[in-house]
Amino acid sequence: MVKDPVGDELLDQVVRRINEAAIRYGFSEEEKIEFTIAFIQFLPYVPDKVSARADEYPKYPAETLITNEGDCEDTSILAAALLRKMGYKVALLFLSHEKHAAVGVAGPFYGSYYEVDGVKYFYLETTGEGYRIGEIPSDFTDTRAYVYPVG
């Protein structure tokens, strides 16, 4: 779903706007990623049972943008798609014991990360506001994750 070409034009427009803001305000790479995540964290959290009347309904990235809402896997898929289009190496993270999804971004950052094949994917929380690169919500008691790098 992260690489699905449907909605590419919309995602490209969002990436252009993010890049323009990053240039205008002189963001570092880390600040640009956190700006992107803040945009996604601002989307209202709406569970699938409410938005799709289904137990599980992962949305395509453009679908999450158009509906302006989503749950953790929706916003994680969107974040991974945008960051990938921006040239970052990303992974989807599934914390099965927490029934939660997030994103990992490769880079020289600090904080919590998951390593796969020598690549450190730093945790990015896409729901709730104010979480920074490498910061896992403190209420998660088990932070083991399945890590799916997105090529």
Q: Give, for 49, the enclosing helix (H) or strand (E).
A: helix 48-51
Tens of pLDDT, residues 74-110: 999 999 999 999 999 999 999 999 999 999 999 999 9
Burial of 57 (0-12, 13-18, 19+ CB in 10 A): middle
Q: CB atoms < 10 A from the CB of 121, how many? A: 26
Mean pLDDT for all residues in the chain: 94
Give the pLDDT of residue 49. Answer: 84
Give the pLDDT of residue 55. Answer: 78
Is residue 79 within 8 Å of residue 40, measured between CB atoms? yes
Q: Are strands 113-116 and 119-124 parallel, antiparallel or unpaired?
A: antiparallel
**Residue 1: which pLDDT band, with cuts at 50, 70 and 90?**
confident
Is residue 15 within 8 Å of residue 79, measured between CB atoms? no
Tens of pLDDT, residues 10-24: 999 999 999 999 999
Task: Give SS3 for 103.
Answer: strand
